């Protein structure tokens, strides 16, 4: 029991190096007891995916199938995010690489850190498949991701979601399909990158499993009130300054009328009549000038003749 627990606590890189050292130290002839011991020790070894998901605060991750991990097409486009891509993919696939024996402790730590990122990115693609959604559905039924704390949601199951498909952009969030709002996860899961679950997982899951969609309730939405009076929606805009800006931009300047509107209208009509008389006089003056010019031309023509 002690040997099995020690093997489980070790990382896969250390487990592989221990098994290789045992195989190299063993002679050609082995007794029956030695062969049984070696078979039991090999069976106690966990795969990298199982070891990763058994770690503390890794309960949200699913164990990816070996067939899915061995398909190179599923890793397309992820090479640009990983420096030592060939070593990390061999580590995740549990492939024996001779260069693992010559790694230092710092190099092991860096390699495992890159393997965490690569596994998380391929995990976001795996949970969209049929087998991946089936595994995630079990977790959602067990409320592994928590429940919505809003009263009207009635403890609906939360779904993990990322705000970006690229790593190191944002952390994972929790989406409630009932109120359709995003919440922060607990502190123990706040380290998980949002790209490890992707931006489209909740939509795929709800489209493939319509029974998981929240049922429509007859309850009315919460109406904010103060002392029994409903709060107007413009109150928040007024305090933030948005309402004041809108009022100032849409303000129309209107001239105040005089005290007696009747006399004010008469004055306006008188001014209009004066303007009309000025226009008429200007037109008459132009006609008189034109007639004078015509008379002068006639006189000049008669004198010439």
Asked if pLDDT for residue 87 goes beyond 80, the answer is yes
- Distance from the Cα of residue 110 to its chain's centroid: 28
Whole-number pLDDT of residue 43: 38
pTM beyond 0.75: the answer is: no
As a whole number of angstroms, the distance between CA 68 and CA 151 comes to 41
Please write the tens of the pLDDT for every residue from 290-303: 666 666 776 666 66
Q: CA angle at residue 300 from 299 to 303, to 5 degrees?
A: 85
State which of 176, 197, 212 marks the end of a domain: 212
- According to the model, what pLDDT value does residue 61 have? 94
Instruction: Indicate the pLDDT class of residue 245, thresholds 50, 70 and 90.
Output: low
User: What is the full DSSP assignment across 86-115?
Assistant: HHHHHHHTT---GGGGG--HHHHHHHHHHH
Cβ 10 vs Cβ 18: under 8 Å: yes
pLDDT digits (tens, 9 = 90+) for 92-151: 888 876 667 777 788 888 888 899 999 999 999 999 999 999 999 999 999 999 999 888
Nearest to 202 by CA among 168, 176, 183: 176
Average pLDDT of the chain, as a whole number: 76
Task: Give the CATH number of the domain where residue 175 resides.
Answer: 2.20.25.20
Residue 157, beta-bridge partner list: 147
High-pLDDT (> 70) share of the chain, % = 65
Domain of residue 102, CATH code: 1.10.1820.10
pLDDT at 126: 94
Q: Which helix (H) or strand (E) holds 183?
A: strand 181-183
Average pLDDT rounded to a whole number, residues 215-221 = 65
Give the chain's end-to-end CA distance (angstroms, integer). 144
- Give the tokens for residue 68: 């899915």
4, 44, 181 from 49: Cα distances, Å: 18, 14, 31
Are residues 151 and 201 both part of a single domain?
Answer: yes
The answer to whether position 232 is within a domain reads: no
| 11-25 residue pLDDT tens | 555 554 454 444 444
End position of a domain, from candidates 96, 126, 156: 126
Domain that holds residue 186: 142-212
Q: Do 73 and 169 belong to one domain?
A: no
| In a shared domain, residues 121 and 58 | yes
């Amino acid at each position: 029991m002690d040997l099995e627990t020690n093997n489980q606590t070790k990382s896969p890189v250390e487990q592989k190096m221990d098994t290789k050292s045992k195989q190299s130290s063993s002679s050609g002839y082995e007794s029956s007891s030695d062969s049984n011991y070696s078979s039991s020790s090999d069976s106690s070894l966990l795969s990298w995916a199982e070891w990763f998901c058994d770690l503390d605060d890794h309960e949200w991750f699913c164990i990816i199938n070996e067939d899915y991990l061995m398909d190179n097409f599923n890793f397309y486009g992820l090479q640009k995010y990983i420096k030592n891509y060939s070593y990390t993919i061999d580590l995740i696939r549990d492939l024996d690489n001779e260069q693992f024996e010559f790694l230092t402790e710092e190099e092991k730590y860096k390699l495992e850190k890159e393997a965490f990122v690569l596994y998380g990115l391929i995990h976001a693609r795996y949970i969209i498949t049929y087998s991946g959604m089936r595994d995630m559905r079990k977790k959602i039924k067990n409320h592994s991701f928590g429940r919505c704390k809003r009263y009207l949601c009635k403890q609906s199951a939360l779904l993990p979601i990322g705000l970006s498909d690229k790593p190191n952009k944002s952390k994972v969030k929790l989406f409630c399909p009932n109120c359709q709002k995003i919440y922060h996860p607990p502190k123990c899961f706040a380290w998980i990158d949002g790209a490890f679950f992707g931006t489209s997982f909740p939509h795929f899951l709800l489209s493939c499993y319509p029974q998981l969609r929240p049922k429509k309730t007859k309850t009315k939405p919460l109406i904010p009130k103060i002392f029994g009076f409903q709060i107007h929606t413009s109150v928040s805009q007024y305090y933030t300054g948005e309402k004041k800006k809108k009022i100032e931009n849409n303000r129309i300047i209107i001239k105040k009328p005089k005290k007696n509107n009747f006399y004010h209208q008469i004055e306006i009509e008188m001014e209009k009549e004066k303007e009309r008389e000025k226009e008429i006089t200007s037109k008459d003056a132009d006609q008189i000038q034109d007639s004078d010019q015509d008379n002068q031309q006639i006189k000049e023509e008669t004198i010439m003749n």
